[in-house]
Structure 1
Amino acid sequence: MKRLIFILAGLFFIRLAFAQVPGIRLTDESVVKDTSGKVLTLAERKEIMARGRYVLRVEKPGSPNSTIIIRELSEADSERRMAANTYKPQASGFFVTGRKPSSFSARDLQGNKYKLKDLEGKVVVLNFWFINCGPCRKEIPELNKIVEEYKDSSNIVFLAIALDEQDEVKSFAEKMPFNYQLIANGRYITQNYGINIYPTHAVLDKEGKVLFHTSGFGPTTGMWLRKTIEEAVR
């Protein structure tokens, strides 16, 4: 089912890519260049289009038989464009967009201390989870990809607050790496926010205000986390 959702989302995105250039007429005889100016063979063009991550534009709008420029998108660019044109996950009932959540103080598995109010000036990405939560485990590979994409940014902090005991979280992380900073024994934090649905996500801007929050793991959750982080770091 998930595979079908992504296929449909991909087809929807391809349709949107064409919609960005209304009136374009692309045939096998059309002259198509990449962004470096290289004229692509029909086979090269079809190979790019088959991957489904591209946008087209006319080099000289209004000119008949104008060259068409094709730009291939990275996977991250593709996801951001899809996020801009697909549904936004429903907000959780545990945070209020535009408001600062109450602060908390906790240490990660390495003993580093985090106080939420002291993280203002940075973008904070929060994840609330527990080990035996199936959707929580299922989303970890996607969350790890997001952390990897922003590994060179010192202005983004990823914190995953688990309900489980520290030894349990350590043991779990050895078997299934989770690249957020892991905080165990976080039940007092989730109780403070009233969280009772897992996973729950929240992204805070540099002023400490909530930009995005949702519960559960859906096909667009990762896209909207990326989109919100991008907005917050600007």
Structure 2
Amino acid sequence: MKAYLFIIILFFAVSVHAQTTTRTTTKLDENTIVKDSSGTVLPYSIWQKLMQTGEYNLKKVTGLDEFVAYKMNDVEKARADERRKAAILNMPKPRQAASLKEGEKFKGDKFTDINGNKYDLKTSIDKVYVINFWFINCPPCKQEIPELNKVVEKYKDNKNVVFIGIGLDNKTDLAAFLKTTPFNYNIIDEGRFYAQKYEIDGYPTHVIVGKDGLIKFSTIGLAGNTVYWIEKTIGEQLKGI
């Protein structure tokens, strides 16, 4: 799992970022001044996408509260990747979602995604289910999507792993959002009922259910090693299949 540099920078500023009723501010946000090499100020949407490619870095301008975006060379990217890996391994395990305790039986439901595909988690115990509770206007939810898509891509040919994204938004809004921001989980719309049932109180919330129907991992918010633990848990569960 290779994390985007922008996300890693953000994670060093705050170890976990969850969307609740109170917003958490970070140093790098839409108010941050970022320029290109010619001195032109870049809109937030532009420099954020540059960072998400993993090809660029931000360098603080000495004496000023602003940054310059520049493209890293291969050596810099390799060093950044090694620092990221070391940092992730030294991080504590992401905090567990209070209502989704590891080792407990997952309540289970029957879901239908926006494409009409059905999933029966009430009786099916032969797959690993990777579930994400999220909503469109949740900054950390959107921030993690590119990395989650990489995990989906890794297991796209493995029928023993099923990715389900339970969105709180309606089908129309989700369809419009997904046109510009692909999210490759199987998306469930109108998910507030399920969020309330599972007592979700922060977003994103992740839960991984093993083939025995037990919760193997859960977490609330987005920490620097959230996706690492998702992928790690999937790998551990597949060893028994």
Same fold, TM-score > 0.5, yes or no = yes
Alignment partners' CA distance in 1, 2:238 and 2:208: 11
How do residues 42-191 of structure 1 correspond to structure 2 at under 5 angstroms? 51-52=78-79, 85-191=90-196
Deviates more, 1:86-95 or 1:126-135: 86-95
Identity of aligned residues (%): 40
Secondary structure in 1 matching 2:132: strand
Give, as a single letter, the amino acid of the residue that structure 1 aligns with 2:148.
L
CA contact (8 A) 1:83 1:227 kept: no
Q: CA deviation at 1:117?
A: 2.2
Pairwise CA RMSD of aligned residues? 2.6
CA contact (8 A) 2:88 2:224 kept: no
TM-score by length of 1: 0.66
Secondary structure in 2 matching 1:118: coil
Alignment partners' CA distance in 1, 2:99 and 2:113: 23
Alignment partners' CA distance in 1, 2:232 and 2:202: 23
Q: Which has the higher helix share?
A: 1
Give, as a single letter, the amino acid of the residue that structure 1 aligns with 2:100.
F
Q: CA deviation at 1:52?
A: 4.6
CA contact (8 A) 2:129 2:164 kept: yes
Q: Give 4+ residue runs of structure 1 displaced > 4 Å after superposition.
A: 1-7, 47-50, 81-85
Aligned in 2, Cα 1:3/1:209: closer, same or farther, shift over 3 Å?
closer
Higher RCO structure, 1 or 2 (CA under 8 Å, sep 6+)? 2
**Alpha-carbon displacement from aligned partner over 1:162-217 (angstroms, at most 9, x marks no partner):** 11111111111111100000000111111101112110000111111111100111
**Alpha-carbon displacement from aligned partner over 1:82-131 (angstroms, at most 9, x marks no partner):** 75553110111121111112111221011011121233110000000011
Secondary structure in 2 matching 1:170: helix
1:24 maps to what in 2?
A: none
Alignment partners' CA distance in 2, 1:216 and 1:94: 14
Alignment partners' CA distance in 2, 1:50 and 1:111: 42
Alignment partners' CA distance in 2, 1:149 and 1:121: 20
Gaps of 5+ in 1: 8-46, 54-74
